[in-house]
Amino acid sequence: MQLNEILPGRALPTMTKKLGLVLGSGAARGWAHVGVIKALEEIGVRPDIVAGCSVGALVGGAWLVGGLDEFEAWARELSPLSALGAFNFWVNRGGLVDTRPAFEAFAAFDKNIEELPVKFGAVAADLGTGEEVWLTQGSVIEAARASSAIPVLFHAVQRGQRWLVDGAVANPAPVSLARYLGADIVVSVDLNANPRVLARFNPPAPGVPALEQPSEIDQNFPKTITTFIEQTRSRIGRQMAIAKSRAQAKPQLFETAYAAIDIFQMHLTRLRSDLSPPDIHLTPDMRDALPNAFDRADEFIEKGRAALIEKREEILALIKG
């Protein structure tokens, strides 16, 4: 069951079908959403509805209030460490970091959701009930802040009598919200489809031979052949050492946390997608992206753009009916 804030109806530009854009969760991976939006503009398509979760709500909201260029410029200035300077460390409200200073930097762009040129909604989760909450009224910035309040890391956000946290714990790619807001066609951007698993603990497939220790070199070989064999043996030795190190390694704290969160969101997104499937499912491969990889904006933006352009003809065909 969802706790909905009903959005008053209003006229939208006439299209054969109403297009909904779903921007999913993903922390720093969310810069891929900027690429998706740029690609939509490139092919001359503007959605009637935007539904976002976590960083998806943040990027989608920034776009709709006209602050995406400034948001992108800010993102490009961040590094994994400098990003922390935008926040206040204050253990309170169930989290370590107060995100209000970062969001207040964009206060000049803030609008009420009801004033936006298209319908917009953000997903959060209610700490008091565990219910999914659809934020479809009031401040865009506050809706995005609530939707992206990562549990334990960021402070929970109070909205009325509720304390809200990141919507990724309930609905990482809210196709159901886009449908509720009136979307006939839904393009969903899922940044968690390819999780950051710890591949080094994945055992080799049956039948794959193990590396063997190279044999001694016959000293009667010409020097060039001897040198080539020595270099090859050295490379194999390094590979064996790496393989042995990986086999003996144990999962580390933070990498285990990253992998567990990715795996959880992958399965939750799949389940929600089965219940409310999108028409177009974009899954840029972001598995090598850490949550704090803010300094890779160019790379992630291009991944998002490429994922949308790849589905260009399908999207245009669906819109035309």
Based on DSSP, count helices (H) and strands (E) in the chain, helices before strands: 10, 12
- Whether 54 is a known active-site residue: answer yes
Strands (DSSP E) found in the chain: 2-4, 19-23, 49-53, 88-92, 95-98, 119-126, 132-135, 152-154, 157-159, 162-166, 185-189, 280-282
Of 48, 166, 190, 279, which residue is the catalytic one? Answer: 166
Of 25, 54, 139, 147, which residue is the catalytic one? Answer: 54
- Whether 110 is a known active-site residue: answer no
- Of 50, 69, 70, 72, the closest CA to residue 61 belongs to 50
Q: Which residues contact 107 (CB under 8 A, 6 or more apart)?
A: 141
In angstroms, what CA-CA distances link 255 with 37, 161, 199, 264? 30, 36, 11, 14
Adjacent-strand bridge partners of 180: none
Catalytic residue IDs: 54, 166
